Amino acid sequence: MNADTFHRTRTERLLRAAVALAFVLASAAVWWPVQAATLRLKDVASVQGVRANALVGYGLVVGLDGTGDQTTSTPFTVQSLTAMLQQMGVTVPPGTNMQLRNVAAVMVTAQLPPFAQPGQTIDVVVSSLGNAKSLRGGTLIATPLKGADGQIYALAQGNVIVGGAGASAGGSKVQINHLSAGRVPAGATVERRVPTPLHAGEFVQLDVAGDDFATAREVARAINTAKGEGTAQALDARAVRVRMPGDPDARVAFLADIENLNVALAVPAAKVVINARTGSVVMNQSVTLGECAVAHGSLSVTISTTPVVSQPAPFSRGETVVGQKSDITVAQQSGSLIQMPAGAKLADVVKALNALGATPQDLLAILQAMKAAGALNAEIEVI
């Protein structure tokens, strides 16, 4: 083999290797796995039964500077104060006209967090029930807070903090923020704990946020990978059953380990959320648009009213009458037919919709019409 043949053969081999490498790199986008979005397990699932519980109570706020309930129109405030005074040994004579301007009847609400123990404190919200002008500067008298079962779980009392101010004089009034509701930070003391299913039974159930079979499968897969096959089982799109350790002391450590596991999230279903009251339109990344043509014109109706005075003739004993003259104008803008190309990405969909120049209110009707025509590949949800 001479030198020319050797160099020619070597060049052909290098060329074939380069072509093969280029083919591999070009096809990598097809066969190389795309990295999916991941979240911690605690962000997509929660332990069933480990949740907050709503508490509610009825009480009185005293110490108001003349801004309390007007007792003539809120008799329940007088009845509540009379009952409280009787418990303290003070008897109010029947028929007494109690004009109380410094007392207000309120509803007290709170959220009892999971695992709350007796003696711990929680925040409460105080809201006026009657016609009190302001709760600023008032003090909440001891109010029992009850759960849905009628049992008392906390006792609330303390100074009410109102994030607002106001003043009025001579018929004028200035007010900043809301004055008939406030908070009492750490104003309630827990008196009873709520049992949780954490230490009951062999299994606990994880509730997945959203009805997604793929997410439930990934939650079970992440737990089985970390803790062994058969530890978790997806029951449906929302429930995953997890086998807990037999030792009660090991259950807290077990849950602490699995709640920080990374869970791969599937691509969400295409959805467009429309708020008909505010005109807000929100769509996720899975929304795609098929090729279509849209024509949309705005219709406006203007009504203007002008006062007209009818003056009677002299010595006719008639009366001057003021009437109204109304002018109604209807205007409709021309809407040309616009061809919208198909969009496979959210940016393409937004660009196509912006090309219409429609307002958010008009966009509500356009999106619904696109869905009916089969051009919008998404589910529309109206809230």
pLDDT, residue 177, reads: 75
Closest to 344 measured CA to CA, from 270, 274, 264 = 270
Per-residue tokens: 144: 């029992």
Concatenated DSSP letters of 96-130 = -----SS-EEEEEEEEE-TT--TT-EEEEEEEE-S
Task: Say what angle helices 248-258 and 213-227 make with each other, to 10 degrees.
Answer: 120
Most distant CA pair in the chain, distance: 136
Global pTM exceeds 0.75? no
Q: Provide the 10 A C-beta neighbour count for residue 103.
A: 25
Please report, in tens digits, the pLDDT of each residue of the chain (383 residues total).
Answer: 554 554 455 556 544 554 444 443 334 333 334 345 688 998 989 998 888 999 999 999 999 988 888 877 788 888 888 888 888 888 888 777 777 789 999 999 999 999 999 999 999 999 999 889 899 999 999 999 999 999 999 999 999 999 877 666 666 667 777 888 999 999 999 999 988 877 778 899 999 987 888 889 999 999 999 999 999 999 998 999 999 998 878 888 999 999 999 998 877 788 888 887 877 888 888 888 888 887 766 655 556 667 777 777 776 677 777 777 767 665 655 556 667 677 767 777 777 777 767 777 778 888 888 888 888 888 888 88
Instruction: Convert the pLDDT of each residue in 155-196 to its tens digit.
Output: 999 999 998 776 666 666 677 778 889 999 999 999 999 888
Domain ranges of the chain: 53-90+98-165+175-190, 197-264, 271-312+320-382
CATH of the domain spanning 197-264:
3.30.1360
**Other CB atoms within 10 A of residue 17 CB:** 10
Return the closest-CA partner of residue 371 out of 302, 272, 304, 277.
Answer: 272
